[in-house]
Amino acid sequence: MLHKDIEEVLVSQEEIKTIIKALGTALTEDYANKKPLFVGLLKGCVPFISDLLKELDFMLEVDFMDVSSYHGGLQSSGDVKIVKDLSTAVKGRHVILAEDIVDSGQTIQAIRSMLLYRGAASVRVVTLLDKPKGRVVQLQPDYVGRTIPDAFVVGYGLDYQEFYRNLPYVGTLKPSVYQTENEES
C-alpha cells in the first residue's frame, strides 16, 4: 500500500527487482576471480546491497563506510565527513563502492579518491539511482540501476529526516510534508 506521505512512485518494487538482477549479472561478469572488496555506504545502501549481494556469484568481502554530506536535509552540503571508516585494508584490492543514489557526485568522488590514495588497485561505483542533472563534479558511476529526474526521492534506503528508509519502493514526497516541517520550526 502507498504511504500517505508519498506523492508519486518513481521506481516500483518490481522494477527494483529487475534492476538489481541486471546489476548482479553485470558485476558477476566483470569481477569473476578478482575477489573484490564490496563497500556499502551507510545507511542508505542497506536495502539495496542486501538484495544485490544475493545476485553476486563470485568471491568477495563486504565492508561499510558511513559518510555524511546531506545532514538530514534536501541539499548536499558538499562537505563530506567520514563518520565510520573501513575496517579492511584496501591496498592492492579491487573495490566496488555501492551507493543508493549519486547526485552532485561529490560524496563518491571524495571516497573514490581517498581509496585510490590508500592504494586500491581499482575503484568502481555501483549505484541504484543516478541523478546526472545534479552533478557538480565530473563523475560517471560505472554501474547505474536507473537514471531519474532531478527530484528529491525517498524509500528503499533513502531518507528524509531519517524517515522513509523502510519503504519498499522509491518515490517523491508530498509538498505538505516539507510545509509541515517548516511550520514546526
Binders of ligand 5GP: how many residues, by CB under 6 A? 19
Burial 149-168 (b: 16+ CB within 10 A, else e): eeebbbbbbbbbeeebbebe
- Of 19 and 102, which has the nearer Cβ to ligand 5GP? 102
By CB under 6 A, is residue 130 in contact with ligand 5GP?
Answer: no
Least distance CB 105 / ligand 5GP (angstroms):
5
By CB under 6 A, is residue 163 in contact with ligand 5GP?
Answer: no
Whole-number Å distance between alpha carbons of 13 and 111: 29
Residues 6+ apart with CB under 8 A from 13: 168, 169
In the chain the first and final C-alpha atoms are separated, in Å, by: 30
Residues facing residue 112 across a β-bridge: none
Least distance CB 49 / ligand 5GP (angstroms):
13
Set 51, 100, 103, 130: catalytic member = 103
Site for ligand 5GP in 141-160 (CB under 6 A): 152-154, 158-160
Least distance CB 181 / ligand 5GP (angstroms):
14
Whole-number Å distance between alpha carbons of 77 and 75: 6
Site for ligand 5GP in 30-59 (CB under 6 A): 44
Is 142 an active-site residue? no
105 within 8 A of 137, measured Cβ to Cβ:
yes
**Residues 70-109: x/- map of binding to ligand 5GP (CB under 6 A)?**
x-----x----------------------xxxxxxxxx--
Least distance CB 170 / ligand 5GP (angstroms):
9
Strand positions, DSSP E, the chain: 6-11, 37-42, 61-68, 81-84, 94-102, 122-130, 143-147, 153-154, 170-173
Whole-number Å distance between alpha carbons of 114 and 39: 13
By CB under 6 A, is residue 172 in contact with ligand 5GP?
Answer: no
- Of 15 and 69, which has the nearer Cβ to ligand 5GP? 69
List the catalytic residues: 103
The residues binding ligand 5GP (CB under 6 A) are 44, 69-70, 76, 99-107, 152-154, 158-160
